[in-house]
Amino acid sequence: MSVIPSRHKSLVLLTGVVVLQILLLAVQIKRDSQGRLIRVWTVGAVSPFEKAGTSGIGRIRNVWNHYFALQNTSRENEDLRRENGSLKLQLTQLQGKAAEADRLAALLSFRQSHQKVPMLGARVIGASADTASQTISIDRGERDGIRRNMGVITADGVVGKVIEAYSDTSQVLLLTDKDSGVGAMLAESRIQGPVGGTGEPLLAMKYVANDDDVKMGEAVVTSGMDRIFPPDLPVGTVREIKAGSPFKQIRVRPAANLERLEEVIVLLTLQPLELKKAAVPAAEAAGSKTSGEAVTEKR
C-alpha cells in the first residue's frame, strides 16, 4: 500500500491540504460568501464565551474598582480607608449614574433628532482574529432585525457597516478597514468625496480636487450618497491636507473612537435615509458611549 515513500508522506499531505484550501478560496471568490456554514458554527461556538468574557470583565472591573483598588489605600490608615473607601464607593456610584444620565441624555437627544430612523443598540463582544482587518462582533443578529449592509454608528459618528449577520451576533466592518468606505462631504464647503479606511487610525478622503478649498480641522459628514448612512452624520475631522496628483491627499480622524468601542447603534433599515437636521448635532450630543437598550427600536 506504500506507493509513496514514508519520508515524502508529509510533503504529499502538505501539498494536498494546501491545494484543498486554495480550492476553497477559489470557490469563495467565485460564489461570493459561500462556505458560510463553518463561519456560523465557529462564531456560534465562540460568541457565548465572548459574551461571558465581556460580562466577566465588567464584573472584574467592578470588583477591582469597588474593592481591591480601595483596599490598597487602607494600608495607610485603616479607619481613614474605610471612610474614604465608603465615600469613594458612593462617588463612583454617583459618577457612574451621572455618566449614564449624560449618555442617556445624549442618546435621547440623538434619538429625537433622528426619530424616523429605526435603531438598535448593541454591545461589542469581540474583534477580528485577523491582525490586519478591522472588524468587530456585536451581540445582536438576524433575530433582532439586523441585515448585511446596515449602517453602524455611535452618538459620536459613523462606525462602519454590518458585513455579516448571524442569528444572534453580527460582524461589523469598521471605517478604518482598507475595504471600508462611506459617502462623505466637507461640512462647510459641501464638497463631496468618499472617505475610506487605510488600515491605519486615520481615514482617507478621496477625489477632492487640488483647487478646492479645504480647511484643517473642518468637519467631514456623511453625504447620503452611499444609500447606507443618512446625510450629515459626523464622519470625522480633517487632520492632514497635502497636494497630490490629480487630487488632494486628505486624512481624516474618525469622529467615533473606533479603537475603543463598547456599545454601538445599528441603523435598522436598508432603505435610503433622509434625516432632518439634528437639533443637537450628534457630535455634540455624544456623551462618550451609547447605551444598548436605551435606543432599541425595531421596525
**Site residues for another protein per CB under 8 A:** 9-11, 13-14, 17-18, 21-22, 24-26, 28-29, 33, 35, 38-39, 41-43, 46, 49-50, 53-54, 57, 124-133, 135-137, 163-164, 171, 173, 177, 179, 259-262
For the bound state, the minimum distance from the C-beta of residue 153 to another protein, rounded and expressed in Å, comes to 18
For another protein, give the closer residue by CB, 260 or 277. Answer: 260
Residue 160 CB, shortest distance to another protein, in Å, is 11
255 C-beta neighbours (distance < 10 Å), count: 25
Q: Report DSSP state, residue 113.
A: H
Which is nearer to another protein, 125 or 266 (by Cβ)? 125
In this structure, are residues 248 and 208 in contact, taking their beta carbons and an 8 Å threshold? Answer: yes
Q: Which is nearer to another protein, 81 or 178 (CB)?
A: 178
Measured from the CB of residue 42, what is the shortest distance to another protein in angstroms? Answer: 4
Q: Do residues 128 and 178 lie in contact, with contact meaning Cβ atoms separated by under 8 Å?
A: no
Is the Cβ of residue 148 or residue 239 nearer to another protein in the bound state?
Answer: 148
Tell the smallest beta-carbon distance from residue 155 to another protein (Å).
19
Smaller CB distance to another protein: residue 33 or 90?
A: 33
CB of 74 to another protein, least distance (A): 28
Residue 143's φ and ψ, nearest 5 degrees, are -60, -25
Q: Residues 6 or more apart from 289 whose CB is under 8 A from it?
A: 103, 154, 155, 262, 263
Judge whether 108 and 258 are in contact, CB under 8 Å: no
Kindly state the smallest distance separating residue 152's Cβ from another protein, in Å.
Answer: 13
Phi, psi of 232, rounded to the nearest 5 degrees: 75, 20
Percentage helix, strand, coil for the chain under 3-state DSSP, each rounded to 5: 35, 20, 40
Confirm if 215 and 181 have CB atoms less than 8 A apart: no
Q: In terms of CB distance, is 50 or 212 closer to another protein?
A: 50
User: Is the separation of the CB atoms in 172 and 153 below 8 Å?
Assistant: no
